[in-house]
Amino acid sequence: MNQQNIPIIEITNLNKWFDNFHVLKNINMTVHKGEIIVICGPSGSGKSTLIRCINRIEEHQKGKIIVAGTELTGKMKNIASVRKEVGMVFQDFDLFPHLTVLENLTLAPAWILKMPRKKAEETAMALLKRVQIHDQAFKMPGQLSGGQQQRVAIARALCMNPKIMLFDEPTSALDPEMVKEVLDVIRQLAHDGMTMICVTHEMGFAKQVANRILFMDQGEIVEENNPETFFTSPKYDRTQKFLSQII
């Protein structure tokens, strides 16, 4: 892991409000290339909002976010170049229900990268193979199970060849029997050296793959630690209370 020291996401003094509600309070964090960060915390703690700021699905009001060397400002050009580097997977999959699985993956490369159709389809098939769902390429998303849909969503997030992947509770909407197949795919990605930030309640998964775990509460990063220390001897009482409630 000689890449560990190259910062790829730098967030300084980030603040965000929803109307008058202060959701993110003075967030500072740096993510290095190849790092796997897990963010956990009670609902409403701002963890989803934080990662949604990283590809500007949410706009922040104060502070600085630099992703892969580009600062996120109001400039459409900057936003576009950041989104090219960042893939995102959502809790509710949000596949496009009117397009086939394959079309879900080829749409952006064909229209944004102007990739020829055949090449876009080949790339898409390779990605579907990577998440082991290439045999369903011509089905509609509605015909797939939740776990399959989420794996397609992961492949779709990879279709623009991003350097960073954001996961927003990727297994929370799944039936218990399907959690593993999705986590396996994410694990594989981690193994391949992808930089990832993952909001999740799967503590077993966090313990296994994360380099660092961030615990958030009420819009702040309360604690930041490596997995062993985080689970065995957390620094803050709040962290301990949270862990005692979910494990």
Partner 1 sequence: MTISPDASKELHVFKPMPDLPAPLESVGIIGWLKGNLFSSKINSLLTFAALLFLWKAVPPLISWTIIDATWSLSSTPDPTPKTGACWTFIFVKFRVLMVGLYPQELLWRPILAFVIFGVVCVLTALRRLQTRLLIALWFFLPLPLFFLINGGIGLEIVEQSLWGGLMLSTGLAAIGIIMSIPLGILLALGRRSNMVIVKSLCIGIIESIRGVPLITILFMASVMLPIFLPRGMNINNLLRVQIGIILFSSAYIAEVVRGGLQAISQGQIEAAASIGLKNWTITYFIVLPQALRHVIPSLIGRCVALFKDTSLVIIVGLLDFLGMIKASAQDPEWLGYDAEAYVFCALIYWIICFSMSQYGKSIEHRNQWS
- Which residues here bind partner 1, judged by CB under 8 A? 52, 55, 57, 76, 80, 83-84, 86-88, 90, 92, 94-98, 107-108, 111-112, 140-143, 153, 156-157, 159-160, 204
201 CB-near residues (< 8 Å, 6+ apart)? 40, 169, 172, 246
Q: Give long-range contacts, CB 8 A cutoff, 24+ apart: 41-48.
A: 41/215, 41/216, 41/217, 41/222, 41/242, 42/217, 42/242, 45/216, 45/217, 45/218, 45/219, 46/16, 46/216, 46/218, 46/219, 46/220, 47/199, 47/216, 48/168, 48/169, 48/199
In the complex with partner 1, the residue whose CB is nearer, 74 or 142, is 142
In the complex with partner 1, the residue whose CB is nearer, 50 or 222, is 50
Q: How far is the CB of 1 from partner 1 (least distance, A)?
A: 27
Q: How far is the CB of 13 from partner 1 (least distance, A)?
A: 25
Please provide the distance, in angstroms rounded to a whole number, between the alpha carbons at the two ends of the chain. Answer: 31
Q: How far is the CB of 157 from partner 1 (least distance, A)?
A: 7
As given in the structure block, the two tokens for residue 7 are 């910062």
14 CB-near residues (< 8 Å, 6+ apart)? 24, 26, 27, 28, 50, 53, 60, 62, 63, 64, 65
Q: How far is the CB of 7 from partner 1 (least distance, A)?
A: 22
Q: How far is the CB of 214 from partner 1 (least distance, A)?
A: 21
Distance (Å, whole) CA 78 – CA 53: 14
In the complex with partner 1, the residue whose CB is nearer, 179 or 222, is 179
In the complex with partner 1, the residue whose CB is nearer, 76 or 237, is 76
In the complex with partner 1, the residue whose CB is nearer, 26 or 91, is 91
Q: How far is the CB of 110 from partner 1 (least distance, A)?
A: 10
In the complex with partner 1, the residue whose CB is nearer, 134 or 207, is 207
